[in-house]
Amino acid sequence: MDARIGIRNTKSMLFKGLIIFLAFLITLPLIVVLLYIIKQGVTQVNWHFLTHVPTPVGEPGGGIANALVGSLLMVGMASVVSIPVGILTGIYLSENPHTKLAYWSGLCVDVLQGVPSIVIGIVVYLWIVKPLGSFSAIAGSCALAIMMLPIVIRSTEQTLRLLPPSLKEAALSLGVPYHRVIIKVIVPCGFAGILSGIMLSVARIIGETAPLLFTALGNSYLSYAVTKPMESLPHVIYTYATSPYDDWHNLAWGASFILLMFVLILNITTKLITRKWNIQL
C-alpha cells in the first residue's frame, strides 16, 4: 500500500512539475516581447516626445502628441456610445434570459465578438466614410464602439447573473419599483464586474490598427476635428515601423512602449478589481 501511495505521489509531482514548466514556457515569449519593447522604447520617451508632433524626415526631434490625442478622443467617443448600450443590453439579457429576443441578441453578440476587426473597419467604411466622402475620427470611433460592445455586454450579463436572486426579491418585497431595483440595487452590486468588463474592452480596442486604416486613416498634424482624419497610436506605429528611416523606427518603438504601458495598466487594474471582489469574467 505504501509503495502504491509513493508511486501516486511521484506521478502527481511529475505532472505538477510538467504543468508548471508548460505554463512558464507559454509566458516566456510574452516576457521576451515585453522586455524587448521596453528596452527599445523606454529610451525614446521624454516630455518632448509626448508633447510634440512628428517632424519631417531628416529633422531631429518629433513626437506623437497627435497620435496620443487622436487615440484618446476616438476611444473616449467609442466608450460614450458603447458603454451605456452595452450595459443596458447586458441587463436585459440577464433579466430575460429565456425570451426569443434575448436568444437572438445573445447569438448576435457571440457572432459579433468573432468578427475580424478589419471586417468591421470595411463595414464602417461603407456605412460612414463612403457616404460622407471623407475619413474621420467619428468613423474610427464607430468601428471601435462596435468592437467594444460584445465585451461590455457579456461582462455585464455574466456579472449580474452571479448575484443572488435574494437581492432583487428583498428589494421588490419592500415595494421598490422594478426599475429602481435594477438601478439602485442590482447594478451597484455588480459595478465592479461591469467596470472590469469596460476596462477590458478599452484595452481590446486601444491597440487596434486594421479598422482605423479604413475609417480614421491618419493625420500628421495635431487635430481636434472629429469630422476630419485623425492619427492614432496603432496607426503611427504601423506607419513608422514600415518606413525606411531610422528616426521613424525610433519613434515607432517609443509609441509601442506607450501603447504597451496603457494595455498593461488596464489589464493589471482589471485583474486587481476582479480579485478583490472575487468576480468571474
Beta strands in the chain (DSSP E): none
Residue 85: how many CB atoms within 10 A of its CB? Answer: 15
Structural domain total, the chain: 1
Per residue in 14-31, pLDDT (tens digit) is 999 999 999 889 889 889
Please report, for the domain that includes residue 130, its CATH number. Answer: 1.10.3720.10
Task: Tell me what pLDDT residue 277 has.
Answer: 62
**Residue 53 belongs to some domain of the structure:** no
Asked whether 44 and 251 are in contact (CB, 8 A), the reply is yes
**Nearest-angstrom CA–CA distance, 183 and 91:** 10
Print the domain residue range for 86.
Answer: 64-157+191-280
- Confidence band, pLDDT 50/70/90 cuts, at residue 129: very high
Is residue 179 included in any domain, yes or no? no
Residues above pLDDT 90, as percent of the chain: 52
Please, what is the Cα angle at 158 between 82 and 262, to 5 degrees? 50
CA distances to 58, 83, 86, 87, 148 from 80, rounded to whole Å, are 40, 6, 10, 12, 11
User: Which among 262, 254, 221 has a CA at the least distance from the CA of 237?
Assistant: 254
In a domain, 108, yes or no: yes
Q: Which CA distances in Å does 21 have to 34, 64, 83, 254?
A: 20, 40, 40, 33
133: helix, strand or coil: coil
Task: Give the 3-state secondary structure of residue 246.
Answer: helix
Q: What is the pTM of this model?
A: 0.88
